[in-house]
Amino acid sequence: MINLCILEAGFINPALENKYPTYAKLFSDFLFTNSRKWKVSSFKIYNNQFPKNIQEYNSFIITGSSFGVYENHAWIIKTLKLVNKIISYKKQLVGICFGHQLIIQALNGLVEQYSEGWSTGIKPVKFNIQKPWLPKFHEQIRLISFHQDQVIKIPNFVEHLAETDFCKYYALSIDDYIFTIQGHPEFSNTYALDLLEIKRESIGEKQYFESKKILDGQNHHGYLFSEIIANFLEKKF
């Protein structure tokens, strides 16, 4: 049985918190944890809430966040140490957006605020490597992206799984127990559109309208990654 620990690294923007659930609920719903009969615990690590004993869990997810992994917050420093501990036990570990970056930062990779600005909307993703838990895709994969920071350098033992035109290290793995992805398969188009509206000034008008048009008119393949991530966490490969 899966005993999943969701490490919430961020929170729903206050302007949207009455419309959308917490990140933990977002991921629970995305992975259909109730119908899978998983046991799920969540901790608001951004609020300095951490699991007391990681051995109680066999799988972990680190969520996205509006924070940067390079910021000198006590909870981020503590989480970097926690990630290395989880890795040392070879627990199944998934990182999404901030979580993706944090895992690589913990392994002495490099994460920076990208000089080319934001990646928003739905992006075509090119997968370069097949894994036992990552099928060969027979169509162009598209995923929601919403980030300014990105991984710039990876350790040589990390596998480079996928890239976009904007983000080279879009998906990464280590053996069959760590899987990280820069995109947001858990996001709905509606949530991404609402977030886009809030970030409009930061993103700029041109990119705002381009991303809005795409999010209004295209679907993405998040539903595929619900199954992929669930199978990865359950070691169904």
Residue 40 token pair: 């799920």
Residue 94 token pair: 């998934």
CA distances from 218 to 16, 118, 184 (A): 22, 19, 15
Q: What is the pLDDT of residue 178?
A: 98
Q: What is the pLDDT of residue 21?
A: 92
Q: What is the pLDDT of residue 140?
A: 85
pLDDT, tens only, 118-157: 999 999 999 988 898 888 887 789 999 999 999 999 999 9
Place of tokens 């199954």: 227
Q: What is the pLDDT of residue 111?
A: 96
- Stretches where the chain sits below pLDDT 50 are none
Query: In the chain, what are the domains?
Result: 3-113+149-186+222-234 (3.40.50.880)
